[in-house]
Structure 1
Amino acid sequence: MAAKRILMLVGDFVEDYEVMVPFQMLLMVGHEVHAVCPGKTAGQTVKTAVHDFEGDQTYTEKPGHNFLLNADFDAVDPAAYDALVIPGGRAPEYIRLNDRVLEIVRHFAAAAKPIAAVCHGQQVLVAAGVLGGKRCTAYPAVKPDILMAGGTWQDFNATFSDAVEDGNLVTAPAWPAHPEWMRKFLGLLGSTIQP
């Protein structure tokens, strides 16, 4: 397997597990991952938030870690990357307001490069207008956005442990789906993973 260059779009209060675990997993199998945030540069950090499912009507939120950015957002050339990852949390609701973020996402979609989005990360895909005709999933509160954007909603069990692959797109409802979400994404990248 040839190592791929992967871009990860994050922001303050990105979900802790949804940024740290994929970042580390992708590095572990030999890929190069650049984590960037609008308005920040390499060496700066974003704060994360831990979202958990504790029987309430929605997830709970607790302080997470400081996640170190290793590349400059303003220097991103999407053509230099093979794939894109968009973690969830609260960051997607506001990074989607950044025109450059949407331009980057549209590049990956138009070029049919692998895109992995989890939880609320799909809000960025909705804002970029790239879900038309795509089958996907997300945190349930994002379902109306996906449907209004022309996507087809895939429902799963309450464990949030499944992922959907449709062409170049892999989506999952939340961090409990990491094994399935990352397995499918690594498959799109051409990584060899033992069952």
Structure 2
Amino acid sequence: MTKTLLLLANGFEAYEASVFTDVLGWNLYEGDRSTELVSGGLHSELTCTWGPKWIPDVLLDEIQLDSYDALAIPGGFEEAGFYTDAFNERFLTVIRYFAGAGKPIASICVAALSVAKSGVLSGKKATTYTYPGNPRQDQLAAFGVEVQHGQSIVQEGNIVTSSSPATALEVAFWLLEQLTNQENVQQVKRRMGF
């Protein structure tokens, strides 16, 4: 059984978190049954971008990081306070651990900014939220990242970054493949109706 940490910052997008809960959950029931997902954050209650509350399974201060096999990070909105947690040193320490251990890190949209701020993408290729007039790719470049303009998903070693919520399911299926195999991913996709 593999265990994935769903790393949540206040202000995260519920949809971007739900792709991991659904894809890994479908695998638990309809795939090879090998994936467990545990949500973690800095607070005992988190608020999603649009207001719903989420109670994480564990607090970051309680986590034994070496018991996890992968990391999943949804993005969020500045207006909802996302970057307060996403740029917190305890949050960034978790990212550094997974990067240093060579374990898969799946980030969606602006979660790439957390990954970049942690320092693990310095001099490497990545992307983040792409929309005309939006400064997020400039912020990514300011962290020393080689921004890959025009690419919706970028894999750099064990780290995946993506350009928008539209990429979320593809990122979640990438993570499932890292944890299992392509044949199992196809089985799960068929059972989900893809």
Between Structure 1 and Structure 2, the one with more helix by share is 2
What secondary structure does 1:28 align onto? Answer: helix
The residue number in structure 2 matching 1:152 is 146
Does residue 44 of structure 2 align to residue 81 of structure 1?
no
CA RMSD of aligned residues (A): 2.0
Between Structure 1 and Structure 2, the one with more strand by share is 1
Instruction: List alignment gaps of at least 5 residues for structure 2.
Output: 29-34, 190-194
Of stretches 9-18 and 107-116 in structure 1, the one that deviates more from structure 2 is 9-18
Q: Take 2:16 and 2:40, find their aligned partners in 1: how far apart are those partners?
A: 14
Percent identity of paired positions between Structure 1 and Structure 2: 28
Q: CA deviation at 1:68?
A: 3.3
Q: CA deviation at 1:127?
A: 1.8
The residue number in structure 1 matching 2:20 is 22
Q: CA deviation at 1:120?
A: 1.2
The residue number in structure 1 matching 2:127 is 137
Does residue 43 of structure 2 align to residue 8 of structure 1?
no
Q: Take 2:75 and 2:106, find their aligned partners in 1: how far apart are those partners?
A: 11
Match of 1:166 among 151, 156, 161: 156
Q: CA deviation at 1:82?
A: 0.6
TM-score of the pair, normalised by structure 2: 0.79
What secondary structure does 1:112 align onto? Answer: coil
Q: CA deviation at 1:128?
A: 0.7
Does residue 58 of structure 2 align to residue 71 of structure 1?
yes
Count of residues in Structure 1 that have an aligned counterpart in Structure 2: 172
Q: CA deviation at 1:64?
A: 4.7
Q: Take 1:172 and 1:7, find their aligned partners in 2: how far apart are those partners?
A: 18
Q: Take 1:17 and 1:138, find their aligned partners in 2: how far apart are those partners?
A: 17
In the TM superposition, 1:76-115 aligns within 5 A as 76-90=63-77, 92-115=82-105
Q: CA deviation at 1:145?
A: 2.3
Q: CA deviation at 1:83?
A: 0.7
The residue number in structure 2 matching 1:37 is 41
Greater relative contact order: 1 or 2 (C-alpha under 8 angstroms, separation 6 or more)? 2
What secondary structure does 1:193 align onto? Answer: helix
Segments of 4+ in structure 1 off by > 4 A?
none
